[in-house]
Structure formats: C-alpha cells, structure tokens
Structure 1
Amino acid sequence: MIPQALPSYDGTGLAGVLPRVVRSLGGPQLPAATGARLPAATRAVVVLADGLGADLLRRRSGHAPFLRASAAAQDPAVPGVLTAGFPSTTATSMGTFGTGLPPGAHGLAGYQVRVPGTDRLFNELDWIGGPDPEQWQPHRTIFEQTTAAGIPVTMVGPAKFGSSGLTRSALRGALFAEARGLSASVDAAVRAARATPRALVYLYWGDVDRTGHQHGCESWQWGESVELLDGELRRLRTMLPDDTSLTVTADHGMVDVPASARTDVATDPELRAGVELVGGEPRGVQLYCRPGAVADVIAAWTARVGDDGWVMTRDEAVATGLFGPVSPDVLARFGDVIVAVHAPVSFVDSRVMNSRIIALIGQHGSLTDAEQQVPFIHLPAR
C-alpha cells in the first residue's frame, strides 16, 4: 500500500525555508525559493527548534503565547505549516534544510544508514566511523552559496556541533558561534545580527526534542521546555535590530509510543528473515535485505504491519516521490524495503540500537501529520 499524502520539497516544505529567507535579504535566487515572497529585510535570524512539530504546537499552544500570537498575526499568503520530508528525522531534515534539496539528492538518508558496498550501518547524527562528510554530501550548502554572495552567515549552537559530521555535510559555510544554553544562544544570535550591516544568523535548539524523547511529547516536561523556548524567542525578537526578520521552524514533529507497542526485530524470527540490516528510524524503518529476499521480506512485514502503516519496496518509494527525485549516486543508501507506520507503534533492533534509544517515549520518522508538519512562523523586519 502506498501512502496518499507525500511531503513537499519546494517552498511549501522545509527545503524552502532558507532559500526564501535568503531571497528576502536580496541574496541569490535558489531553486527551492518558491511560494509567496517574504518581506524584504537587511538581516535575518532563523531558529530551528528540534522536534517542535506544528501539530503539537497547535494542541499545546498555551505553553507558547509568543509563538501563538506570532502565528495568528502572520500574513495569510505565507503558509504557517510546512512538511519536513521523509524520513522525518533530524539528520535527513538537516540535509534538506541546509541544502534546499530533497533527500534523494542530498543523500542524508536517515538516522542509521548502510554505507553502500559494506555490511555496516553508520549513524548520521553522531557520524562515528562515518564517511567523509563533504564527499557523502558534496552539493553546495545554502550557507556556502549565501556567503559567496556577500552575505555573512553565522551558526549558533553547542560547541560539539561546530565541526560535527552532520554540520560539515549539511550546514557548512557559516561562521560558528559557540553558545551554552538557550539564553546564551539568544545573546550570541543578537551579537551576530548586530555585528554586520547585512547578515543571516542560524540558531539551533535541541531541548524540545530531547525532552519529548525522554518524557514524551504529551508530558508536562515537554510543555515546560516549550515555555522556556517561547520566552527566549520573545526576548530575541525584542533585542534584534528593527531591520531584522525572525523565522522559527523545526525539523520534525513527534508522537508518543508506549513500550508495549515496540517490536524488537532482533528477537522476532519472522521479521528478521531475509534482512541483513535494520536501518532508518523506529517509525520509518529501512530494511537492507539479502540478495533475492525482498519479496519475502515485503510479504512478512506487510502481514505484520497490516493497517498500522505502509510497506513498500525502494523502487515503489522512489516512484511515488517519497524522497523527491533520487540521484543514482545515493539510491543504494536507502533500504530495499521501506516501512512507515501511522499507528502508535514502532520497530527497533537491539543488535544495533542501544537500550537508551529503544526506551525513548517520543518518536518520529514516519509520514503522519504529527511527525511531518512543522511550523513556519515568519516575523518581518519592523
């Protein structure tokens, strides 16, 4: 069964966020900069709050009065909700956000990805033992193109992200400003915006996602984390120069999955049969199969998943546009079989996932609105 709703990889998706902001600064016209034009600005700050799904933000908007009011005041011509892309996971979304390209072009295929021609997975978040980031994702990033056009770009975040594999792959080209904690990050973003007459500043914040994973996105702790973010965004807006726009978005949403609804493929002979490696996300599984086993794997997983999700071959996923146009150079990075669930269930593999990851309550990776839809809140220069 093929899903009906597919993510967008243009101005109505996460791919279009930075290209549209760059265009508002008078920068180069980038391919994904489609849709309604954003008002002109001299400087811009873009905040990506990891895990801040649009569905969650709507339902729990009492924790975010600043974002709620900002969304309500937004120009109706500028859609306030975008799609993240598939799989709806940080590594893939950062590739889409940072390059303006779909996953099938930038090749950041998921949380855990098989290196073609090998029998091993690597994690695109921590990049431990991974390939050279610049070769894995060779396309020029938006930050590189913006800097080359004469607009200074600064990225604000924790020190560990300054030279990480994911940054070097998807977000290279910016001057890095280290900051610890959200308040310090906001201060650093303001300094960067004020430092030059023209500027693009990118601020990443990961605690909403971290809290959702650990406590669940329906928890009081998640609401508290969003309240902190909302208050600091309000402070950021008041401190920015008048000629500076502020854009807030996210890389994916989240749903809670009870422990009883998680299946461990490592202990399930039927699901394990014919599968060499289990990659992707627990809710967006990518199965790398033994030669000749794809049909049997499809049958076994279709019988098990049933009406809880979609099971498709890689060719079917590509043909439907799930990854956008796919380059032959990256095709083999995606699993032979793709599983995307819409029920509150997930599939893990204790052979390649540690117990901490398996125990996460809040999860994402699939095609549901709760995971796919992210906010696009744009406050123009005053």
Structure 2
Amino acid sequence: MLRVGLTGGIGSGKSTVAGRLAEHGAVLIDADKLAREVVEPDTPGLAAVVEAFGPEVLAADGSLDRPKLAAVVFNSAEQRERLNGIVHPLVGKRTAEMLADAADDAVVIHDVPLLVEKNYAPMYHLVVVVDSDVEERVRRLAETRGMPEADARARIAAQASTEQRRAVADVWLDNSGTPDQVLAQADALWADRLVPFEANVRLHRWSDYGNARLYDYNPEWPLQAARLAARIKLVTGGLRVDHIGSTAVPGLPAKDIIDLQVTVSSLEQADSFAESLTQAGFPVSPENTGDRGKETKRFHHSADPGRLANIHLRAEGSTDWRQALLFRDWLRASEQERASYLELKQGIAKQYASGAIPDDAKDEWFDKALPRAESWAEATGWQP
C-alpha cells in the first residue's frame, strides 16, 4: 500500500486533483468529508460539539449550523483547538478503519487540509501539494462559494504559507491555469510515479539507478534530503540522520541520488529497523551491507522512482561513520579539494557512462585525501 498525503490551501483546487486520482483507481480518504460525517445528526460527535459550544450552533432541523460554528471558532485559537479536540480523534478513528479496509496494492490518497500545520508529512510515502496564485484562489472562493473577498483573504492568511508547504512537498502541482492543465499533471503523476512507487513498496524493491551522469548542483537536494530524513526519524524513533555524499556539498555536481547516514548503536539495532524502513519506502539491500568488503553498515535504497536515495545505517563512532561526515564537511570547507574531487567524478562518469561503476572506483583518491582531511579536522577542531 502506498500512502500519499495530499494538501493545498483553500481555493487551490486540490479536490480536483483528488477526484482525478480517484478516477484512476486511488482510494480517496477526504479528511474534510470525514469531519462532516462525524458530526452529522444523531452522532456522538455532534453531541460533543453541542456540549462544548451550546445548542446555538444547531440549525432548526437539528443539524450542525456550520457558519454559526465557524463564527465562534474562526477568530479564537483556543476555541479552534477545542473543536479540533473533538473532531480530530473521530476522524482519525474513521481514517484508520478505511486504511485497514484498503487492498494491499492500493494507492491511498489522504486529502488533508491541515497536513502541514499538524506536521503529518513524515507519515506518508509521498506528499503532494496543489497550489495556485493567491489572487486566483480569492477569485475562485468568491465565484464558487460566494465568499466575501475579505473573508477569503483572512482564511488564506490563517493557513500554512507557500514556503511551509514547499518544505514538505515531494510533488508540487501548479493549478493557477486551466483545469485541464492540472489534470494532465495528475495523470502524469499517477502513471509515472504513484503506480511504480506502490509496486516497489509492495514488492520490497528499489528504483532503477540509471547511469553515472553528473548533474549541476541542485539547491533542492538538501530540502529533499530533509524530507526523507523526517520519514526515517519517524520510523526509527528519532535516530540521528545526516545528509552525506556529494549532494550534501553546496556547489558540487553530483549524480541525482540523495545519500543519508543513519546513526545506530550497532548493526543489530540497524537490523531491527529493516522491516519498518522497508514499509516506509526504503527497502533493504541485503547483498550489499559492507564498506569495501567489510560488514560495517546496513544499506537501504529508495523505492520512489522520482527520488533516488541510498540509506546507510552505520554504528556511531565507527571509522566509516566518522569519515562520511568528515569528508562532507571538509569538502564543504575547501574549494580546492572540491575541484579535485569533481575532476575524479567527471573522469569516472565519462569512463563508465554506459555501465555500472565499480565499488572501488574512488578508493585510491579517498585513501590519498584522508590525511589531508584529517589535518583539516585537527586544525579546525572538527568533531562529527
């Protein structure tokens, strides 16, 4: 099962994307819809809301008068939290029931307006954000919901910012244009990423790593690494996760593969996380557990075809654990050494452009560079 978090600001059109993915066969769990269902007439949820806010929030027919309730809670953080304390546990229970009923090969789209605000992003294999220009969102809210402009702007301002959403977005869908444009994006997302990602998670396999091509440094790499690290921290109980390797060195061209190092107390602890990491989208690579022929780590890959990654689990204080951090920080600090390393990488990429790169292709350079890195560490007082 692939769990996809879908979010976007009010008026962004995420419901359009959710509906399209459901047409393709996704299981849609709409948090807003569930929030309405759990406070329908004669439900325990509605009874709790009336007890908390009084019978004046009821309409004449006994149903919840949503505009009246909104007027009570919208301008009060305390009242909003009070309402959320009633509704969210009920929505969570219903969500868990729907997940349990979903097929093993399902792509589950969880439409969650407050995904960013509630820090839910690490819970999903992938987070999709639908966005639109603010002025376009205001226009839509006025036309489709009859919302006054001032109210529309106030609601937009009360939600997560664009920057906050970008920080958690694995996929960013721009819905500022016509509906057919965002639907085309949704179609491509389904075919090119969600379907193969689900199969990889279910079958415990990783994505094809392609060739040795070097890409110009991408400032998105650290943000992508941070999102992967957050998922790993969630399933490992908060273990230290560091972005290492070439994509962690600003300005250095690299293969488009994120390397992360997870600090464990022992390889036995690393093994204890094998299943949970695999289910989270990082399948174990049991045939490749050693560094230079020695068993000094456990190795996982990413199952996401849209974000290749290597996950190295190494024991704290081990030689390779320390050197991975040392080389990263040393290269960050030295333009000359970055240039030397880039020359090596370019030569390897050219030599093995059409085939697999040998595991020891960089060993000679690293062996010669290690004394220079250690001298830098001693001179600067560097610690891992």
Structure 1-normalised TM-score? 0.23
Q: Give the TM-score taking structure 2 as reference length.
A: 0.23
Q: Which has the larger radius of gyration?
A: 2
Q: Would you tell me which structure has more strand in proportion to its own residues? A: 1
More helix by share: 2
